A and B are shown apart, each in its own frame.
Chain A
Amino acid sequence: QQQVKQSPQSLIVQKGGISIINCAYENTAFDYFPWYQQFPGKGPALLIAIRPDVSEKKEGRFTISFNKSAKQFSLHIMDSQPGDSATYFCAASMQRGATNKLIFGTGTLLAVQP
């Protein structure tokens, strides 16, 4: 019940296209859903995050769509660029009680072809 399932494992997108990565969770106590981007040799960097009281959040070319009833959330990268090529992780946590243990998905390796 603590798992976060992420798909696809890898993704190839043409420059200018839309990249979509999906995640699903079971534990309805999760109340914070961030997405992280990781480049080789670096730690994960927070991209965007959402809480379950909203269905969508957009920051620049990155959008999170959240479906509370289906227990699913997804990351959309619009106008994908070669510089977006990285590994993306979704995560979930229960922030009530002020403990922020992140449960990560297994990651998606995105390659944006020029």
Chain B
Amino acid sequence: KAGVTQTPRYLIKTRGQQVTLSCSPISGHRSVSWYQQTPGQGLQFLFEYFSETQRNKGNFPGRFSGRQFSNSRSEMNVSTLELGDSALYLCASSWQGTDGYTFGSGTRLTVV
């Protein structure tokens, strides 16, 4: 079956702009989580959505937001981009969030 699909794979944005990243979970999976991966901070939890509701949120500023649609696809948005937002953004899906997560290959965001 198809894995977790993230688009785009690479993105270059200018400081101050906003960006939207997309994630299509494995068919049937209702839980979608987002993580930020950087060399300095490692893998950090951003938020989790289940059945279109945000169920958990990490310690990131309000510039980071997300949503989930009725078909479980999810988007995350980062507004007013800063240089420090440059990272690999990973989406992971799970059937209901209490079993193992499957990660996508991520979106590499570079802010210049």
Q: A100 to B101, Cβ gap below 8 A?
A: yes
State A75–B58 Cα separation when bound (angstroms).
27
Instruction: Quote the shortest CB–CB distance from A41 to chain B (angstroms).
Output: 7
Q: A34 to B100, Cβ gap below 8 A?
A: yes
Q: A43 to B45, Cβ gap below 8 A?
A: no
Would you give the 0/1 interface string for B1-14, flagging 1 where the beta carbon is closer than 8 Å to chain A? 00010000000000
Select from chain A the residue with minimum beta-carbon distance to B56: A99
Determine the interface band of chain A, counting residues with CB < 8 A from chain B: 20 to 34
Q: Determine if B43 is an interface residue (Cβ-Cβ < 8 Å).
A: yes
List of B residues within 8 angstroms of A98 by Cβ: 50, 55, 96-98
Q: B102 to A46, Cβ gap below 8 A?
A: yes
List of A residues within 8 angstroms of B42 by Cβ: 89, 104-107
Q: A102 to B45, Cβ gap below 8 A?
A: yes
Q: B90 to A43, Cβ gap below 8 A?
A: yes
Q: A45 to B101, Cβ gap below 8 A?
A: no
List of B residues within 8 angstroms of A107 by Cβ: 42-43
Q: Determine if A95 is an interface residue (Cβ-Cβ < 8 Å).
A: yes
List of A residues within 8 angstroms of B66 by Cβ: none
Q: Determine if A78 is an interface residue (Cβ-Cβ < 8 Å).
A: no
State A89–B90 Cα separation when bound (angstroms).
14
CB < 8 Å neighbour of B103 from A32, A43, A100: A43
CB < 8 Å neighbour of A100 from B33, B44, B102: B33
Q: B100 to A102, Cβ gap below 8 A?
A: no
Instruction: Quote the shortest CB–CB distance from B47 to chain A (angstroms).
Output: 9
List of B residues within 8 angstroms of A103 by Cβ: 45
Pick 12 A–B contacts, CB within 8 A, sort by A.
Answer: A36-B103, A41-B105, A42-B105, A43-B92, A46-B100, A98-B96, A98-B98, A99-B48, A101-B33, A101-B58, A102-B45, A104-B42
